[in-house]
């Protein structure tokens, strides 16, 4: 996990909640154009905050969080929009709701890996209920789009 080195070097994002296709905040990233969206997962834990959005931690190697690897056409603009939505003000800023970090992502289709930015809870343990399944859509009720 890496915090904020050269944001322009990695142009993909792992999203696991309201930024996924079919979810309420997907337009935040989609308005910057999407080159590709692929089903993917990372090692971590997912929590329902009770506020209509999830939070993820990277604390457990034996848990999986399911989501999407997205590649926006304008990755820098998409990052700025997502930073604003996720209340990310910079590495370690006291006002951060989330931290933006680099993670290794596994693609569901073929098991290959990629590096991507994602947003993790800025607290050690997020408030709310742990989602053992690692699937936000089981809470949101949104069906995954056909790929």
Alpha helices (runs of H) in the chain, residue ranges in sequence order: 26-30, 75-85, 137-140
Q: Looking at 23, 45, 68, 86, which residue is catalytic?
A: 86
CA quadruple 30, 36, 40, 44: dihedral sign: negative
* CB contact at 8 A, 98 and 118: no
Which residues have CB under 8 Å from 6's CB, separation 6+?
Answer: none
Q: Rounded CA gap, 14 and 127, in Å?
A: 21
| Residue 71 known to be catalytic | no
Catalytic annotation, residues: 86
């Amino acid at each position: 996990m890496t915090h904020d080195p050269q944001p322009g070097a990695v142009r993909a994002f792992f999203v696991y909640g309201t930024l996924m296709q079919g979810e309420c905040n997907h337009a935040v990233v989609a308005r910057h154009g999407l080159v590709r969206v692929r089903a993917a997962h990372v090692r971590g834990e997912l929590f329902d905050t009770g506020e209509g959005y999830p939070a993820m931690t990277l604390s457990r190697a034996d848990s999986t969080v399911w989501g999407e690897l997205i590649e926006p056409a304008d990755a820098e603009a998409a990052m700025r929009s997502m930073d604003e939505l996720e209340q990310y003000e910079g590495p370690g800023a006291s006002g951060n709701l989330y931290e933006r970090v680099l993670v290794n992502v596994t693609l569901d289709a073929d098991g290959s890996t990629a590096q991507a930015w994602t947003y993790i809870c800025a607290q050690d343990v997020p408030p709310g209920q742990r989602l053992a399944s690692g699937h936000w859509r089981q809470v949101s009720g949104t069906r995954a789009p056909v790929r």
